[in-house]
Amino acid sequence: MDKKRKRSIIRGVILAVLVIAIGFTVYSSFTKDKVELLTEGDTAPDFELVGLDGKKHRLSDYRGEGVMLNFWGTWCEPCKREMPAMDRQYDVFKDQGVNLLTINIAQSEFEVQNFLNNLGVDFPTVIDKTRDVMTAYNVIDLPASIFIDPNGKVVKIKTGEMKEADIISHMEMIKPE
């Protein structure tokens, strides 16, 4: 019957619209926070910070090469634990076009430099004094690592301490062809 089909279609459309609207809301509230949150596959927001070397480091300058960002603080024990492995793998991968840039959260140059010297690591480090980059990347818990491919796309977001094997496999993912 024509009428029956029409009724089914109308009901189906109404239910579908409701389910899609609600599904999208629920989905987005879990993949995103109140502010726009970075997810894997997004373009990594560009930023510029001054490093311990006194130079400006801008993310977009690394286009064409892979970049691992690592947010950390001196009070964060897991950050400290994963750093020697990061340093070792950076030495292996830097000749293959993978960069490491660690971002300290708003501490003093003295503390940051001293901390790195004590650990005996020498990867490039910048300080996010205003916490602007931390906000842009929606970093809440430390450590947080973001792996960005040569096209500037976020390939992997990793919160918490990483094993050396994880660092290797993720650096492999962002290696230029």
Binding site for another protein (CB under 8 A): 4, 7-8, 11-12, 14-15, 18-19, 22, 25-26, 28-30, 32, 34-37, 45-49, 58-60, 73-75, 105-111, 114, 118, 126, 128-133, 135-136, 140-142
Of the pair 25, 96, the CB lying nearest another protein is at: 25
Taking alpha carbons only, the member of 176, 74, 162, 78 closest to residue 125 is: 74
Q: How far is the CB of 107 from another protein (least distance, A)?
A: 5
Of the pair 71, 93, the CB lying nearest another protein is at: 71
Of the pair 19, 165, the CB lying nearest another protein is at: 19
Q: How far is the CB of 91 from another protein (least distance, A)?
A: 25
In one-letter notation, the amino acid at residue 103 is I
Of the pair 142, 174, the CB lying nearest another protein is at: 142
SS3 label, residue 23? helix
Of the pair 162, 171, the CB lying nearest another protein is at: 162
Give the Cα separation of 61 and 70 in Å (integer). 17
Torsions phi, psi of 57, nearest 5? -110, 120
Tokens coding 160: 């918490």
Burial per residue of 95-108, b for 16 or more beta-carbon CB atoms within 10 angstroms, e otherwise: eebbbbbbbbbebe
Q: How far is the CB of 72 from another protein (least distance, A)?
A: 11
Taking alpha carbons only, the member of 156, 154, 153, 150 closest to residue 170 is: 156
Give the Cα separation of 8 and 43 in Å (integer). 42
Q: How far is the CB of 158 from another protein (least distance, A)?
A: 14
Q: How far is the CB of 136 from another protein (least distance, A)?
A: 4
